[in-house]
Structures are given as structure tokens and as C-alpha cells.
Amino acid sequence: MKFAQIVGWGMHVPDKVIGNDAFVQMGLDTSHEWIASRTGIHERRFVENGQPVSDLAVKAAQQALQVADAHPSDIDLVILATCTPDQVMPSSASFVQHRLGATKAGAFDLNAACAGFVYALSTAAAQIESGRAETVMVIGADELSTHLNWQDRTTCVLFGDGAGAVLLRASDEPGIMASTTGSDGSGAGLLEIRGGGTLANSNGHASNGNAFLTMKGPQIFRWATQKLGEAATKVIEESDLTVDQVDLFVPHQANLRIIDAAARRLGLPEEKVFSNVDTYGNTSAASIPIALCEAISQDRVHVGDNMILTSFGSGLSWAALVIRWGTPIPSSVPRWTPIRLSLETRVAAVRSAFKKSQRAVRATIGERLNKDGD
Ligand code: COA
């Protein structure tokens, strides 16, 4: 039996830091005290100058390749979990695949909103376990700041932008041990962005505020505290573990009160729960891989540890999985690895420019031939 093992990891967040006071300065009727005490959030990052989500994703993925000392051409599949793609089509994963120079890889976006990264990990693990893929890049990246209504204090203070990635490789040792995914579309209206889809477009309502995220926060809060615990319990039981054997719980970073309530329900002590919602807010599909990277850099992940990842979000959707950590944490990256990766990225850029000009030449020749034929 093959297992999917995380062998590389990386994260990227925009430089622009927005503290809670920035919302007060914008004229919003809120305060640092309210936001910090009701959510645990102190600051978040927002993209600037139209930086696309694929750009954040590429940077996180490059770091994951670096940690794993892997080549972009090793990747069989790129799965990008996002609900804020660069454009409706093609998938943002295609841009990422191309920019990484992952010439052998298939690529697709997966939209399960904030639950997307754990959904994507579960999907990638199934590909590896079935033998269809050996190496899969799984990325969670979102820019919900591009959908926030700056007049709505109940939503705009909660979210941030960012990306996180892991490289999965087939291994004889576990690995991802169990996973669950769930959906309850009856709650679709509780958290949504209505614009950008066929419904809004065919109704002629593509604009007019439909691009804004709307949410019924208290209902989501009640549902999430229950669902996080339920999903975690399910995968713990499926892996034949007990709660005592869980070394680290990495939940979706939406609200510290949700995380604390879920941990209490599970009976997990504070030291086994990871949270960084104070620094990044809710980065949607990026929240778990970013938390994972920070847990690793804070020496909270060790070989043999049992980790639970749980996520929830719009859909309503949720997912959870158990990982037995199997990769030693490298103390440093070999000196030549960043140089090699930077060269590979440049080669990918030159290859891209070459392919584009080849296509342009072919199109021009085709047009000429058609004209001559007329
Ligand atoms: N600043 C100041 N006051 C605020 C505020 C803000 N940013 N946002 C809401 N309020 C006000 C409300 O208007 C309300 O005022 P009212 O009593 O005069 O009507 C009051 O605070 C209480 O609002 P309520 O919504 O009941 O607060 P809450 O304790 O439930 O906290 C959330 C609101 C949004 C923080 C909380 O419900 C939550 O985190 N929900 C889950 C959201 C989530 O995780 N979404 C992402 C899922 S992936």
C-alpha cells in the first residue's frame, strides 16, 4: 500500500500588513478591542497592485520544492485550492504549472472555499494511493480582500490574503492515514460571493455588489464549532487513534473562539492546538498550509507525530484528515537548491516566451495560407 507523505512545504503572504486600527481609520464603526476579543485577529495581509492569486501560489510552491529538494519536472499533478482564481478560465493552477516549469504535470483548481486545502490534500492522497500519481503539488491560495465590502464591519475585518503549499510524494510509510470530506448545500446562503458565475451573469447581475462576500456570521460560528470537532473525531477513529495520541491539531484559522471551542469539545489541551489567526486573519484555503508551515518553523512538528487538520467554509463544506508526520525537518536548505530552482524558473520563463512566439508565428502563417487559398 502506498501512502502520501508531505516532503516539502512553503508559504507566501503579501508584504502589506493591515492592523485592526486601519479599519477605524477608514471610518468603520469598529475597534481593535472588538475585533481582537471577538475573533483573535490582530492583523492580516492584503495584496496590492493587482497581484494575482497564482503569483502567491507560485511563490509558496517554489518554497515547497526547495524544502523537498525536488525538480518542477518531478510533479505529476498541481491542485490549487482557491475560490478567488485569477480569472474564470483557464484554471489558476494552469498558470502555476506553467510558471513553475512543471512540464509533466496536469493541473486544476479545486473550489471548496476555506475547506479547499484539506479537500485538495485528500484528493491528492487518493491519486497517490491508487498509483495514478507519484508526486503532487497541493496549494491553498486565496485573496478574499478582492471581494470584501469595506462598509461591512461584520465581514471585512475577518479575512486576509496568502498562499501555502505542500509537496506530496508516494511512500511506503504513512503519511496521510484517513480523511473525510463533507458538504451541506442547504447552507449555501450563509457565506457566499454571488457574482462571477452563470447565475449572476445570466440575470445581468454580474456587478451591483454581487462581487462582495456576504455572511451570516453567528450561524456559521455555531455550525463550525460543532463541525470541526465532529470531523476531527471521525478521522481520529478511522485511523484507530485516540485523542490522547494526537500530537498537534491544526484547524482552519477563522476565529480563535471557534478553535478554542472545538479543541475543548475534543478534549485537546492548549499546547496541542496550533493557531496563528492573530497574524493573518482568515486566509481561506491558505490558512491550514500557512499554519502548518509556521508550526514546523516553531519546532512543533516532529517525525512520528499524529496531526489532525480540519477545515470548514462556504458550501457549507468541511474536511478533516490525519497525518503521521514522516519527514525530518531540514535545519537548512542546501546552498545550491535555491540557485537551481531560480535557474529552472528562468528556463520555464524562456520556454514560455518561446512557445508563445511559436504559436504567434503558426497563427500568422495559418492566416496567410487561408488568405492565399481564398
Ligand atoms: N466591530 C464592532 N462591532 C461589530 C463588528 C465589528 N467588526 N462586527 C459586528 N459587530 C457588532 C454587530 O453589529 C452586533 O451589534 P448589535 O448587537 O448592535 O447588532 C454585535 O457586534 C454582535 O454581533 P454578532 O454578530 O452577534 O457577534 P459575534 O460575537 O457572533 O461575532 C463574528 C461576529 C463574525 C466575529 C462571529 O460570528 C464569527 O466569527 N462567525 C464565524 C465567521 C467565520 O468564521 N466565517 C468564515 C468561515 S470560513
Query: How many helices (H) does the chain have, and how many strands (E)?
Result: 11, 13
Q: How many CB atoms lie within 10 A of CB 348?
A: 19
Region 291-308 average pLDDT = 97
Q: Over the chain, what is the mean pLDDT?
A: 94
pLDDT in the model for residue 209: 62
Alpha-carbon gap, residue 89 to 184, rounded angstroms: 26
Residue 153 CB–ligand 1 contact under 6 Å:
yes
- Strand, coil or helix: what is 298? coil
The neighbour count for residue 194, using CB atoms within 10 Å, is 18
pLDDT at 152: 96
Atom of ligand 1 nearest to the CA of 155: 34
Write the pLDDT tens digit of every residue in 127-144.
999 999 999 999 999 999
Instruction: Find cell 493541473 and name the residue.
Output: 107
Q: Is 49 a catalytic residue?
A: no
Nearest to 236 by CA among 267, 271, 270, 274: 267
Task: Give the model's confidence band at 188: pLDDT under 50 very low, under 70 low, under 90 confident, else very high.
Answer: very high
12 catalytically annotated: no
DSSP string of 265-278, one letter each residue = HHT--GGGB---HH
Cell of 236: 481520529
List CB contacts of 13: < 8 A, sequence separation 6 or more: 45, 56, 160, 161, 162, 163, 280, 283, 290
* Chain segment 244-253, per-residue pLDDT in tens: 999 999 999 9
Ligand 1 pocket residue status of 195, Cβ below 6 Å: no
User: For 5-61, what is each residue's pLDDT tens digit?
Assistant: 999 999 999 999 999 999 999 999 999 999 999 999 999 999 998 999 999 999 999
CA-atom Rg of the chain in angstroms: 21
Q: Are 316 and 190 in contact (CB under 8 A)?
A: yes
